Chain A
Amino acid sequence: MATHELDLKNVSIGYGKNKILFNELSFSIGSGVSSIIGLNGSGKSTLIKSIAGLLPLQQGKIFLDRKDTAEWSAVEKARKFSILLTQRPKLPYFSVYDFVAMGRSPYTSITGKLTPEDVEQIEKALIKCGIESLRNSLIDEISDGQRQKCALACAIAQQTPVILLDEPTTFLDFRSRYSWMELLQSLAADEGKIILFASHDLEAVFHFSSQCILLTESGKIELIVKDNFHSSIAISEMLKNSSLKFDGDHLRFLHSANS
C-alpha cells in the first residue's frame, strides 16, 4: 500500500495581501486521519480550502509526495485532492447516483459519459458509505445526514490520495458520527489516504485523529500528536477566559460549575 505525504512550506493564507490569516505556515502530515481545530473564525475552512486549491496561496508552496501542487492543471489537482464542504446546493433531478458519479468527472470524457471503470468505482463508493439502497433517490429529498454520506461517496469515487473535509460530522446523529469516523479511519488505513478534517467535534478529533493542527487566535498553529493530546497546553490555552476546563486524563471538557 502506497503512503503519501503532504507538506506546506512557508505558506501564507488569507483573502488578499491585506487579510492574511496565517503567515508562513510550515507543517507536514502523512497518511492517516489528521484534524484541524480552532475557535470560530480561526480559519479552519480557509486552511482546508487553501490546501484544496480553492483559494490562492498568498505565499509559499504545497507539496504532495514532494511534487509542487502549483504546477498541476485543474484536472491533475482534482485527481489528487477531493473535498467535502458544508455547502448544500439545490440540485433538481439529481439522483444520489448522479451526484456520486460527479466524483468521476476528472476521469471521464468531454461529455461526462461513464466507462465500466467509472461505474465500478461509483458502486464501490456507494457500498462503502452504505447508501447503495438510496441510489435512485433524489438528492434534494434525502436527509442531511444521508446527503453528507453521498458527499463522502463522491469524494471516495474521485479516488484521490488526499480527502479534505470541512465539518464532516455536523449533520450526523451520534451513532452515524462514529461509523462515519471509522470509515474515514479505514480509508486511511486500507488505502493509505491522507484524511484531513476540520471540526468543532472534539470528541471525534481526540478519538479518531492521529494528529491535530490547532489554530490559535494569534494566527499560529500547534501540531499535537495523539499521545500528547492529554497534556496539551495549547488546548487548555484555547479555553482561557471561558468557563470550560480541559480534562486531559479523560480527553473531555468540564464546565467550571461541575468540576
Chain B
Amino acid sequence: MLLAFLFSLSSGVSDLGATEIIRILFNNSTPELLKDIFFQFRLPKTFTAILAGMALSVSGLLMQTLFRNPLAGPYVLGITGGSNLMVALLVMGTTAAEIQFTSVVNNIAVPVSAAIGALIALFFILLISIKVHSSVSLLLAGLMLGFIYGSIQNILEFLASPEAIKRFTLWSMGSLGNVSIHQLFLLSLFVLPGFLFAFFLSKQLDVFMLGDDYSTSLGINLNFFRWSVVLVTALLTGVVVAYCGPIAFIGLAVPHLTRMIWLTPHHRILVPATAITGATLLLLCDGLGNMFSNHFVIPINIVTSLIGAPFVLYLLFRNTTFQFG
C-alpha cells in the first residue's frame, strides 16, 4: 500500500516526481508553485483515492454479504445510479430555481443528496431481493433499476439549461482530483465512521452468511442488522459518488480479491483487509491513469473498468469461489 501511495503521489500532469516530493517534504528551498501543487492537489487526490477505495470496496463487501450474492456491488445493483439521479435533481433543480448555495452548503448538500439517492436505490433493490432469490435475476433487476434512474436523469438533462447540464456533466465525469482539502475532511468524516461501523458489524455479517433462520437462532436481530448494513452502505457509496463521481468495479472485484488473498470468511479480517486492498487498488489505478501522458489524465472510471472487468471475468471462469448460497 505504501508503494501504491507513493506511486499515486508522484503521478500527475505537472512535473512533480518522487525526487521533487522528497525535496518538498524535507527541504524548504522548493519553489512555492510546486509546494502548492503538492499540498493543494496531489496530497488531497491521493488521500481521496485511499478513502474512496476503502469506502467502495467495504460497501461492496457489505452488499455481497447482505444479498448473499457474489455479483452484488454498488455499481451493478444501481446504487451508484440512484446517487447520480439524486445529485442530478439537486444540481439541475437548484440551477433551474436560480438558487445559489454557498460552498459550505454545497459541500454538504451534494453528499447528503447522493447518500439519500443511494439509500432509496438500496431500499428498492432490498425489496426486490425479498422476492427474487437468484443471483442473476437480482443482477438484472439492478441493471433495470439503473436504466430507469439513467432515463429519468436523461429527461432532466433534456429539460435543463445549458449551465445546469455543464455543472452536472463536470460532476458526473468524476475524478479523484476534484476534491479540495476541506472536502477531503468532510469525506473522511463520513467514510471513517462508516468503516468503523462496518467493522463492528463483523460478527453479525459472519453469522448472516448462514441464512435468515440460523442467524435468528444465533441471536441476530435481522431487521436491525439489515437496516444497519443498508445505512452504512448507502453512506459509504453515496459520499464517494458525490465527491468523485461513479467509479466502477472496485466494489464488486475487491471483496473477491481479498477473500482470495486471505482465504477467510471472517468479516473482522475481511472488512479491514478489503479496505486496505481497495485503497491500494484505487491508488494504483490513479497512478496508472496519470502515467501515460503529461498532458491529460485518463478518467479513473476507465482505469478501474479496464482492470476490474477482466478480473471479474477471471472469477466467473474460475467459478469455484464465485458462488454464495
A interface majority secondary structure: loop
- Does B31 sit within 8 A of A, measured CB to CB? no
Task: Tell me the minimal C-beta distance from B90 to chain A in angstroms.
Answer: 36
- Does A133 sit within 8 A of B, measured CB to CB? no
- A98 & B217 in contact (Cβ 8 Å cutoff): no
- B213 & A78 in contact (Cβ 8 Å cutoff): no
Q: Check A89/B218 contact, CB under 8 A, given A94-B265, A98-B266, A112-B268.
A: no
Name the contact of A103 in the complex, choosing from B218, B323, B325 (C-beta under 8 A): B218
Q: Check A102/B206 contact, CB under 8 A, given A92-B259, A94-B265.
A: yes
Measured between alpha carbons, how far is A106 from B214 in the docked complex, in Å? 12
Interface residues, chain A, CB within 8 Å of chain B?
49, 52-54, 74-75, 77-79, 81-83, 85, 87-94, 98, 102-103, 105-106, 108-113, 158
- Chain B: interface residue total (CB-CB under 8 A): 29
Chain B residue with Cβ nearest A112: B203
18 contacts between A and B (CB under 8 A): A74-B219, A74-B221, A89-B211, A89-B324, A92-B321, A93-B263, A93-B265, A94-B265, A98-B265, A102-B214, A105-B218, A105-B219, A106-B218, A106-B219, A111-B202, A111-B203, A112-B206, A112-B267
What 0/1 readout, one digit per residue, does chain B (126-143) give for beta carbons within 8 Å of chain A?
A: 000000000000000000
Measured between alpha carbons, how far is A79 from B321 in the docked complex, in Å? 33
Task: Tell me the minimal C-beta distance from B126 to chain A in angstroms.
Answer: 19
Name the contact of A82 in the complex, choosing from B209, B217, B264 (C-beta under 8 A): B217
Measured between alpha carbons, how far is A19 from B317 in the docked complex, in Å? 45
B206 neighbours in A (Cβ, 8 Å)? 102, 105, 112
Name the contact of B325 in the complex, choosing from A89, A102, A105, A112 (C-beta under 8 A): A89
Measured between alpha carbons, how far is A78 from B213 in the docked complex, in Å? 12
Chain A residue with Cβ nearest B213: A54
B321 neighbours in A (Cβ, 8 Å)? 92-93
Name the contact of B210 in the complex, choosing from A49, A102, A158 (C-beta under 8 A): A102
- A89 & B203 in contact (Cβ 8 Å cutoff): no
